[in-house]
């Protein structure tokens, strides 16, 4: 599996609860599609977030976002240097 970052710009005024609900919906969609959501980083007040997901393709990550009704601006394949 490859590693992908989803970049999100959801608009100002999001709350932590709204972001948390979106993350839970996304995780459920990923489970159906065989993706593995790793974590997300957010700034709810600015409506900005990025999520990290293991998946077979960027299309699968996009499909999971679409199914969860979580808008994603861009999906980028990345390499994790630790």
CATH assignment at residue 22: 3.30.70.3090
Summarised one tens digit per residue, pLDDT across range 1-27 is 999 999 999 887 888 888 889 999 999
Residues spanned by the domain of 28: 2-78
What is the residue-wise DSSP string for 22-74?
HHHHHHHHHHHHT-EEEEEEEEGGGTEEEEEEEES-HHHHHHHHHHHT---SE
Q: What is the mean pLDDT of the chain?
A: 93
Provide the pLDDT for residue 36: 97
Provide the pLDDT for residue 54: 98
Cβ-based neighbour number of residue 27 at 10 Å: 17
Provide the pLDDT for residue 14: 82
Number of domains within the chain: 1
């Amino acid at each position: 599996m490859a590693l992908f970052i989803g970049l999100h710009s959801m608009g100002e005024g999001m709350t932590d609860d709204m972001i948390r609900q979106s993350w839970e919906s996304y995780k459920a969609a990923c489970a159906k599609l065989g993706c593995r959501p790793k974590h997300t980083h957010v700034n709810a007040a600015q409506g900005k977030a990025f999520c990290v997901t293991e998946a077979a393709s960027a299309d699968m990550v996009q499909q999971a976002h679409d199914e969860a009704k979580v808008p994603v601006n861009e999906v980028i394949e990345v390499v994790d240097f630790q």
